[in-house]
């Protein structure tokens, strides 16, 4: 293995091509992963931020906020369950908002939330007519203190602070108190008006059990009345999320396979080129295992270098792209996952050269005049 690493250090030129190609593939992998994460976050941020064990919708709602209605009597039944500690009303309405200074047709897409229990990263509900705004609204030139005119009724809402990562179906969240949200709903969506005390959904915090136990307790007690989901399940029920994940994961999978093929081809060619050298080394006592381990070490180092360069470049790219322009979210977790996948591809790719290494005949070193 020392031999292989010395070759890397002393003959870096031989590995430049593979490193460049793998860097580009690693960048593609991380960028696509970042796009997937960004899309998912802009679709699901408001739900994944819920500090809750379960989200409860009405039974026939198919987990759609707009179709769901939770009556006060239903809420009271849930509140009485032993598995439940507290519940909070939750509702949303998706609208366009006029931003001061922007053109009349240049609307910012917003999701106006009314909430009782604060999600993670969101303060307690603000005063009437005020909202905590998701910071991606900065891309629409929104600033703290701005009064947004929401919906066709131009309901005024003043931004009083920023929150992060709480978008919903691609729209920026405005977190308001329940009365403000009802006011927006009444004024702009008369078809979806709710009576006082009625919410679209309930956020439920359990009394110590696991989220699944809380969900089961609600389902058992209110069978046929409500649809209780854990937060991850509620995220998956958001239209398009599963489809996006499936599509992107297939693209990411194909990208990893391409990396594997590149590594396999490169090291297969390198092995062919080194047949005479390997023959000589085997003749003087090198085991096939030692030679193959060296090959794997080279593949792993080359891939690691390529992946680290790609990680750095993707981070720089993320900093250069204006916030809100594309849904790109680069996380350490995504970069590490990509590196691990590429290293796995490197080892598997190298395995294709194993047979060739095993077949190198030490006798080829003798009687060879090439």
At 68, give phi and psi (nearest 5°).
-90, 145
By the rule CB under 8 A, 366 interacts with another protein? yes
By CB under 8 A, what part of segment 181-220 binds another protein? none
Q: Strand pairing partners for 157?
A: 148
User: By C-beta, is 309 or 365 nearer to another protein?
Assistant: 365
Which tokens go with 238? Answer: 């958001």
By the rule CB under 8 A, 2 interacts with another protein? yes
User: By C-beta, is 11 or 105 nearer to another protein?
Assistant: 11
User: By C-beta, is 281 or 297 nearer to another protein?
Assistant: 281
Question: How far is residue 14's CA from residue 267's CA, in Å, rounded to a whole number?
Answer: 11
At 185, give phi and psi (nearest 5°).
-65, -45
Compute the least distance from the CB of residue 284 to another protein, in Å: 6
By the rule CB under 8 A, 105 interacts with another protein? no
Distances (CA, A) of 6 to 11, 282, 294: 8, 18, 10
Compute the least distance from the CB of residue 303 to another protein, in Å: 20
* Contact yes or no for 54/211 (Cβ under 8 A): yes
Burial of 344 (0-12, 13-18, 19+ CB in 10 A): middle
Compute the least distance from the CB of residue 7 to another protein, in Å: 5
Compute the least distance from the CB of residue 351 to another protein, in Å: 21
Among 94, 192, 258, 365, binds another protein (CB under 8 A): 365
By the rule CB under 8 A, 297 interacts with another protein? no
Question: How far is residue 133's CA from residue 143's CA, in Å, rounded to a whole number?
Answer: 9
Residue with the two structure tokens 């593979």? 18
By the rule CB under 8 A, 287 interacts with another protein? yes
By CB under 8 A, what part of segment 343-362 binds another protein? 362
By the rule CB under 8 A, 16 interacts with another protein? no
Among 195, 284, 320, 332, binds another protein (CB under 8 A): 284
User: By C-beta, is 244 or 364 nearer to another protein?
Assistant: 364
* Contact yes or no for 175/112 (Cβ under 8 A): no
Residue with the two structure tokens 């999978």? 253
Dihedral, CA of residue 3, residue 6, residue 7 and residue 10, to nearest 10:
-160
Over the window 253 to 282, marking each residue x when it contacts another protein by CB under 8 A and - when it does not, the resulting string is: -----------------------xx-xxxx
Q: Strand pairing partners for 86?
A: 205
Size of the site for another protein (CB under 8 A): 26
Question: How far is residue 277's CA from residue 128's CA, in Å, rounded to a whole number?
Answer: 79
Binding-site ranges for another protein (CB under 8 A): 2-3, 6-7, 10-11, 276-277, 279-287, 290, 362-363, 365-370
């Amino acid at each position: 293995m020392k031999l292989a690493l010395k070759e890397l250090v002393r003959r870096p030129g031989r590995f430049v091509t593979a490193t460049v190609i793998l860097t580009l593939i690693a960048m593609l992998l991380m960028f696509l992963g970042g796009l997937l994460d960004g899309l998912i976050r802009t679709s699901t941020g408001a739900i994944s931020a819920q500090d809750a064990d379960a989200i409860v919708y009405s039974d026939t709602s198919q987990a759609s906020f707009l179709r769901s209605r939770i009556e006060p009597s239903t809420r009271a039944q849930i509140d009485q369950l032993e598995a439940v500690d507290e519940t909070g009303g939750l509702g949303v309405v998706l609208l366009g908002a006029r931003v001061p200074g922007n053109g009349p047709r240049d609307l910012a897409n917003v999701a106006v939330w009314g909430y009782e229990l604060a999600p993670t990263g969101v303060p307690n509900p603000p005063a009437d007519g005020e909202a905590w705004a998701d910071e991606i609204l900065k891309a629409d030139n929104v600033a703290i203190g701005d009064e947004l005119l929401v919906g066709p009724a131009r309901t005024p809402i003043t931004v009083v602070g920023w929150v992060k990562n709480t978008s919903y179906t691609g729209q920026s969240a405005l977190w308001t108190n329940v009365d403000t949200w009802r006011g927006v709903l009444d004024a702009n969506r008369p078809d979806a008006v709710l009576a006082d005390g009625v919410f679209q959904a309930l956020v439920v915090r359990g009394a110590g059990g696991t989220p699944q136990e809380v969900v089961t307790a609600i389902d058992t007690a209110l069978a046929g009345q409500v649809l209780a989901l854990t937060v991850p399940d509620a995220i998956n029920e958001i239209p398009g999320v599963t489809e996006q994940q499936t599509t992107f994961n297939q693209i990411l999978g194909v990208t990893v396979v391409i990396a594997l093929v590149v590594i396999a081809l490169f090291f297969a060619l390198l092995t062919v080129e080194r047949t005479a050298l390997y023959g000589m080394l085997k003749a003087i006592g090198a085991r096939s295992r030692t030679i193959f381990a060296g090959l794997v070490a080279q593949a792993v180092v080359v891939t690691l270098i390529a992946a680290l360069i790609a990680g750095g470049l993707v981070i720089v790219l993320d900093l250069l792209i204006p916030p809100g322009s594309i849904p790109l979210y680069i996380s350490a977790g995504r970069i590490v996952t990509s590196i691990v996948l590429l290293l796995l591809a490197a080892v598997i790719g190298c395995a294709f050269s194993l047979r060739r290494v095993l077949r190198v005949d030490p006798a080829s070193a003798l009687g060879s005049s090439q």
